[in-house]
Amino acid sequence: MAFDADSPDVWARARRQAEQIPAIYSRIDFDNLPERFTNEIAGDSAVRGAFRDKRAALLADRQRVAMIAGYTMTGDVVADAYAALMPQLGFRGMISQLETACRKGLDAVPDAPPELVAFIRDMERTPAWVDMDLVNEGARLERNGMANLAPYVIRGALLATFMNKYSALPMALTGTLTDSLAAKRAFETATFFTLTVLPGGLERHGEGFRAAAMVRLMHSMVRFNVMRRPGVWDAGVFGVPIPQVDQMPAGLISSFLLSFKVLGQGRNHFTQEERARIELARYRCFLLGLPEDLLGETPQQIVDLLLTRQATLRAGFDDKTCGSLVRGAMSAELSKDNTLTGRMRRGMERSFSKAYLVRNFLEGDASRAEAMGVSYTGRDRLIALATALFIVPRMKLYDLAMRAPGVRDIANRRLVSKLERLLHRYGHADFASDGENYRPVQA
């Protein structure tokens, strides 16, 4: 393959997967890239809006494109190896062993399989570039957004993975087309990110560390379940289920937006506070299994990496897959609080999510939302605006309080308390994918 010479180490690791975990990768053709990947200048890609003009320049960097191509064909070797033990350990047995290893250590798991040991050891190693003081400071800075903004964008956070049939199919196969499962996945997403910003959340025995391990196993369970069933997955079209590049949007979107803002100000370096937020995101992504190659360090690197991922992902919207996922996510009931406050919050969240969809993924075209079955009315616009006017001042006040020596600790404690209440409202997160519930979807 032409890309092997441009990024040999990445491609060597990708090819070794067929030998390391044949149950998942033996049917992957590493000599031919799947339909989902495109590096043709004339091809239509997932790059949208003002970034379209940058696509040719992005594709001109052969080494970066080759690396993205390699990670389009790469899963998560250590988590995949553990997931491949499902026939022996059983669905619940695997989850139980991993949770015990995360909370109590490997010594607490009788006869821990070598694959579990390798999985935990991989997460325990601390890369030389990680500064845990910066990570903890980044978590402190992110609590404001997680407490005051996240509850209104939970639904919208899922939509980025639903707008492209090539990256959305695993979600459809696992049954997320239904309202109840869409709500469950939304709460799991919110729970994961909330746990990672709580004090000590990303320490070795923290709940954020455990959640990252469970998310990795969930993704690997999807890979194992779809690849072992003939006729469920077309590798020639979709490639590797949930490849590393498909974890970039969720893990790095905040870093991308911050980096884009920094570049817009004429800088290519972060302030100390900005670096703390970036360090948190980078370490969180590391725990999720993303290779360091994809994380970026400078604002320009971060922007270029994520845009190259978008520039090489072929555009494709399939109403049966993408449209159903969007409608399922939008119609899901995310709250059962029937008090007046609860009903008001529910209406604000739903309208704000619609605005998020139209503005961020449909280029402001409400008619495209209508075509998907999502009604975005004038009333929704007014409610979304009112919601923004409610959220932004509150966040600014907390931001000021978190900087003031006299009230900093008080504000931090209030945010932590609010995050703990939100976790209670989100409910228990399984972070698991039971293959018995999968339903084939034609895309």
Give the model's pLDDT for residue 259: 97
Instruction: Please state the separation of Cα 378 from the chain's center in Å.
Output: 31
* Cβ(153)–Cβ(305) below 8 Å: no
Closest by alpha carbon to 234, among 323, 325, 159, 321? 321
Q: Specify which residues 45 forms β-bridges with.
A: 314
Give the model's pLDDT for residue 339: 87
What span, in angstroms and rounded, lies between the C-alpha atoms of 117 and 101?
A: 9
By three-state DSSP, how is residue 372 classified?
helix
Give the model's pLDDT for residue 435: 47
What span, in angstroms and rounded, lies between the C-alpha atoms of 352 and 357?
A: 9
By three-state DSSP, how is residue 37 classified?
strand
- Describe the crossing of helices 299-312 and 248-264 by its angle, rounded to 10 degrees: 130
List, for residues 6-43, the tens digit of each pLDDT value: 899 999 999 999 999 999 999 999 999 999 999 998 88
By three-state DSSP, how is residue 314 classified?
strand
Closest by alpha carbon to 150, among 116, 117, 186? 186
Q: Is the pLDDT score of 374 beyond 90?
A: no
What span, in angstroms and rounded, lies between the C-alpha atoms of 239 and 170?
A: 11
What span, in angstroms and rounded, lies between the C-alpha atoms of 77 and 89?
A: 18
Q: Mean per-residue pLDDT for 381-394?
A: 96
List, for residues 257-291, the tens digit of each pLDDT value: 999 999 999 999 999 999 999 999 999 999 999 99
Local structure of residue 240 (DSSP, 8 states): S
Closest by alpha carbon to 152, among 336, 359, 347, 401? 347
Instruction: Please state the separation of Cα 68 from the chain's center in Å.
Output: 17
Written as six digits, the tokens of 139 are: 């978590």
Mean pLDDT over the full length of the chain: 89
Q: With helix as H, strand as E and coil as C, how does 114-152 read? A: HHHHHHHHHHHCCCCCCCHHHHHHHHHHHHHHHHHCHHH
Give the model's pLDDT for residue 443: 41
Q: What percent of the chain is predicted at pLDDT more than 90?
A: 65
Written as six digits, the tokens of 365 are: 């075209």
Closest by alpha carbon to 302, among 267, 327, 347? 267
Give the model's pLDDT for residue 14: 96
What span, in angstroms and rounded, lies between the C-alpha atoms of 357 and 432?
A: 27
Length of the chain: 443
**Which is more confident, 5 or 2?**
5
Q: Distances from the Cα of 240 to the Cαs of 23, 189, 246, in angstroms?
A: 13, 22, 10
Give the confidence band of 442 by pLDDT, cuts at 50, 70, 90.
Answer: very low
Closest by alpha carbon to 91, among 438, 441, 434? 434
Least confident residue range of 31-35, 66-70, 353-357, 417-421: 353-357
Local structure of residue 32 (DSSP, 8 states): S
Closest by alpha carbon to 183, among 353, 379, 378? 353
**18: left (phi > 0), else alpha (psi -120 to 50), else beta?**
alpha
- CA-based max dimension of the chain: 63
Give the model's pLDDT for residue 178: 56
Q: Is the pLDDT score of 316 beyond 50?
A: yes
Give the confidence band of 307 by pLDDT, cuts at 50, 70, 90.
Answer: very high
Q: Specify which residues 313 forms β-bridges with.
A: 37
Can you give the pTM of this predicted structure? 0.91
What span, in angstroms and rounded, lies between the C-alpha atoms of 9 and 147?
A: 41
Give the model's pLDDT for residue 303: 96
What span, in angstroms and rounded, lies between the C-alpha atoms of 232 and 229?
A: 6
Q: Distances from the Cα of 207 to the Cαs of 77, 315, 387, in angstroms?
A: 23, 37, 31
Give the model's pLDDT for residue 440: 45
Encoded amino acid at 196, one letter:
T
What span, in angstroms and rounded, lies between the C-alpha atoms of 433 and 60?
A: 39
E strand or H helix at 371: helix 366-372
Closest by alpha carbon to 98, among 117, 122, 76? 117
Closest by alpha carbon to 303, among 80, 57, 44, 45? 57
Q: Is the pLDDT score of 133 beyond 90?
A: yes
Encoded amino acid at 427, one letter:
G
Give the confidence band of 357 by pLDDT, cuts at 50, 70, 90.
Answer: confident
Q: Mean per-residue pLDDT for 329-356?
A: 85
Q: Is the pLDDT score of 441 beyond 50?
A: no
Closest by alpha carbon to 278, among 160, 177, 135, 395? 135
Give the model's pLDDT for residue 25: 96
